[in-house]
Structure 1
Amino acid sequence: MTSAATARHGTPDAPLLVVRGEAELDVEPEVARIGITVGARGRDRRSTLDDLTRRNTAVLDLVKSYGRAVEELSTGAFSLTPELAERGRGERVRSYRGRVHLGAEFSDFTVLGELTTRLADLELTRVDGPWWSLRPGSPVHAEARRRAVAEAVQRAREYAEALGTTLAALTELADTGTEPSRPGLSSFARGARRMSRADASEPAEPLDLEPARLRVAAGVEARFTMAPPRL
């Protein structure tokens, strides 16, 4: 039998042992992301665009005012769409609707509740999120993989001891996946403000946002050969 076949099926002189190793870690998130949509609507194209530009600038200035707490701020899609009248002949434009989508990423969660509340209190501004996650190169992923491998080796040793023998060699190790869970997210939005003068003079209370813990899972499949047991 070839060495490849031995590694896959084993022989009486080198029995094959196949085990799985798994690990799960419950960890705090490292970053939070929010989505921001700024809108404007009016009968005139230019005035709608001016309103959208003004509101977009206000959002950017507000987010940037939090300094190093903001790790990333980017502008996504922009649109300015004419809306046609439902009745009447021809292509008569009834109004214009504009939108700008932005994304922001934070590592300092202490400012997140205050900022999202202030953003949601702006005119025709919608905030979605937060989405909690780990950084792509987080050491948490490596730790989960190490624990999964350690469990596979320990499990294999226990099976070998149950047969009164020992492990001889590792012939194959396959990664079956490392994935963080996707916790729920909160979403809130506020359109054009409908507040009295007394209310408008008072800032909204900051939201109390609690970071959602993340589950990071890793799994491996390991193949070992053993010394022949005495059965």
Structure 2
Amino acid sequence: MSDVPVISVRGEAVLEVEPEIARLSVHVQSQEDDRRGALDRLAERNDRCLELVRSYGDAVERLETGGLSITPLLRHRRREGEVRAYQGTVWIKLVIRDFAVLGELVARLGDLERTYVHGPDWDLRRDSEVYARAARQAAQEAVARARSYADALGARLTGLLELSDEGLGRADAGGPVPVRLAAAYGAPESAGEPEPIDLEPARQTVRAAVEARFTATAPDLDA
């Protein structure tokens, strides 16, 4: 085994950045005495919700239907009994890129009949350049730290033996509690448009850490 001195260090970077997207989860519901009525009413409300979302054009980056269910509601919950009603639910997932319209969209969705809104959940895109920037800064810090140790010993770095990624990802942002809105249960929409809700984006914390091992010249311990 070589007697070349080795310096092992850890480099870390922590970045706080503005979010790039906001996620909304929207549940549209219906409840009628018969199954077909619940389906028809659900389809109407789902179409109304999708039409509203699509009216915002490119401000909405993604619009997906996450699921649909029609559930019989029994008269007696703890034992098998007659069906008293049918409840329909459509789950819609939204990704918003333009925060300028977000407060208005959330308010208008929450104003729809039997429509429930959860969000926004602030986020970065999976391919965000922030992750690469954090990784580069972590590697640079590892080099700087190893060089500092070498200088303190009167040595200098000569090569890299190993560089390993400890992990790269988001830390808990600890931002504001998501807004939860629900239209009045079974009531028609209110007259006029609701006031937009003032939403402040929560900054995202991205951490990256690496471990590195460098070879160095022999230290000058007599200096």
Query: TM-score normalized by structure 1?
Result: 0.89
How much has 1:131 moved relative to structure 2? 1.0
CA distance in 2, matches of 1:191, 1:84: 24
State yes or no: 1:42 paired with 2:29.
no
Instruction: Please tell me the residue identity of whatever aligns with 1:70.
Output: V
How much has 1:57 moved relative to structure 2? 0.3
Cα pair 1:121 1:193 within 8 Å, conserved: no
Map of 1:95 onto structure 2: 85
CA distance in 1, matches of 2:75, 2:129: 56
The counterpart of 2:105, out of the listed 115, 122, 126, is: 115
1:165-206 deviation digits (Å, cap 9, x = unpaired): 1111110000011111343441312143587x9x92232211
State yes or no: 1:189 paired with 2:181.
yes
The counterpart of 1:169, out of the listed 159, 176, 200, is: 159
Cα pair 2:39 2:88 within 8 Å, conserved: yes
1:45-77 deviation digits (Å, cap 9, x = unpaired): 111111100000000000000011011100011
State yes or no: 1:127 paired with 2:117.
yes
CA distance in 1, matches of 2:17, 2:182: 32
SS in 2 for 1:228: coil
SS in 1 for 2:194: coil
Instruction: Please tell me the residue identity of whatever aligns with 1:17.
Output: I
Aligned-CA RMSD value: 1.9
1:111-144 deviation digits (Å, cap 9, x = unpaired): 0000010000111111111111111111111111
The counterpart of 1:64, out of the listed 25, 29, 54, is: 54
Map of 1:205 onto structure 2: 195
Structure 2: segments with no counterpart, 5+ residues: none
How much has 1:16 moved relative to structure 2? 1.2
User: Number of residues paired by the alignment?
Assistant: 218
CA distance in 2, matches of 1:90, 1:133: 44
Structure 1 residues 57 and 71: alpha-carbon distance in aligned structure 2, compared to 1, 3 A threshold: same
Cα pair 2:74 2:80 within 8 Å, conserved: no
Structure 1 residues 194 and 95: alpha-carbon distance in aligned structure 2, compared to 1, 3 A threshold: closer
SS in 2 for 1:155: helix
State yes or no: 1:149 paired with 2:139.
yes
Structure 1 residues 171 and 90: alpha-carbon distance in aligned structure 2, compared to 1, 3 A threshold: closer
1:3-45 deviation digits (Å, cap 9, x = unpaired): xxx5xxxx2xx11110000011111111111000001111111
